[in-house]
Amino acid sequence: MSDRSVGRPARGPVAKPRTPRSPAARRRQQDILNIATDTFAARGYHNASLAEIADRAGLTQAGVLHYFRSKALLLTSVLEQRDQGDIEQLGTERPQGLDFLRHLVDTALRNAEREGIVRLYAVLSAESVTDDHPAQPYFRDRYTGLRAFVTDALTAACDLEEADAARAHDAANAIIAVMDGLQVQWLLDPDSVAMAASTDLVITSLLATLAPGRFPS
């Protein structure tokens, strides 16, 4: 699911790219990030080369590494930039309960207007399951945080007891799986997939299953 605002808990200190001092250098660093975003989305991490990114940016590979130190750091910087955009769009407060579940539907609707970000997420999240992939900790943490957020939202919206925690957890996994699967289908055949409508249908059905008294079917 391509939205950091509902996803990942804060991690400990991580490597950071250099901080350029001049406006021209900051623009150059941003250009590299934008080019890397497109390249990783199109080719994945392993098939994207620093040489290609450098060539598109009008730099040598050493020039790219001056700003980002390593290809792995460039990848994590791309993911963090994507996250920051989602955080800014959400605002300072994360919605709770039913409002959070509605936010998931809004996220699916918004994702239908940003193909590049959705492709980046779909490609890298699938690729991250391979051995020693530099984005594996990022996506593992992200799913852990997202699962907890959705579980909490379902528990609050349905006023569930502690005994129902496992059901809420399983329902959260189902919602995440549906949203991620819809993104892949949409990327392959956008005219046949309405991500927001399908997400809303699944969430509505799960609410009725978990709390039929509150959400009659």
Q: What's this model's pTM, rounded to 2 decimal places?
A: 0.82
Task: Give me the pLDDT at residue 8, please.
Answer: 47
Task: Give me the pLDDT at residue 3, please.
Answer: 61
Is residue 106 located within the same domain as residue 155?
yes
203 found inside a domain:
yes
Question: Among 92, 108, 137, where does a domain finish?
Answer: 92
Calculate Rg over the CA atoms of the chain.
19
Task: Give me the pLDDT at residue 21, please.
Answer: 85
Is residue 157 located within the same domain as residue 107?
yes
79 found inside a domain:
yes
User: What CA dihedral angle connects 177, 178, 179 and 181, to 10 degrees?
Assistant: 80
Count of domains for the chain? 2
Distance CA 190, CA 182 (A): 10
Question: Among 59, 92, 125, where does a domain finish?
Answer: 92
- The residue segments making up the domain with residue 87 are 15-92
Is residue 123 located within the same domain as residue 75?
no
- Number of Cβ within 10 Å of residue 84's Cβ equals 12
Is residue 72 located within the same domain as residue 160?
no
Task: Give me the pLDDT at residue 13, please.
Answer: 43
Domain of residue 39, CATH code: 1.10.10.60
Per-residue pLDDT of the chain (217 residues; tens, 9 = 90+): 666 555 544 444 456 788 888 999 999 999 999 999 999 999 999 999 999 999 999 999 999 999 999 999 999 999 888 777 666 666 667 789 999 999 999 999 999 999 999 999 999 999 999 999 999 999 999 999 999 999 999 999 999 998 999 999 999 999 999 999 999 999 999 999 999 999 999 999 999 999 999 998 7
140 found inside a domain:
yes
Beta carbons of 179 and 186 less than 8 angstroms apart = no
Is residue 177 located within the same domain as residue 123?
yes
Is residue 70 located within the same domain as residue 103?
no
Hey, what are 75's tokens? 């990848």
Is residue 100 located within the same domain as residue 173?
yes
Is residue 107 located within the same domain as residue 150?
yes
Is residue 145 located within the same domain as residue 196?
yes
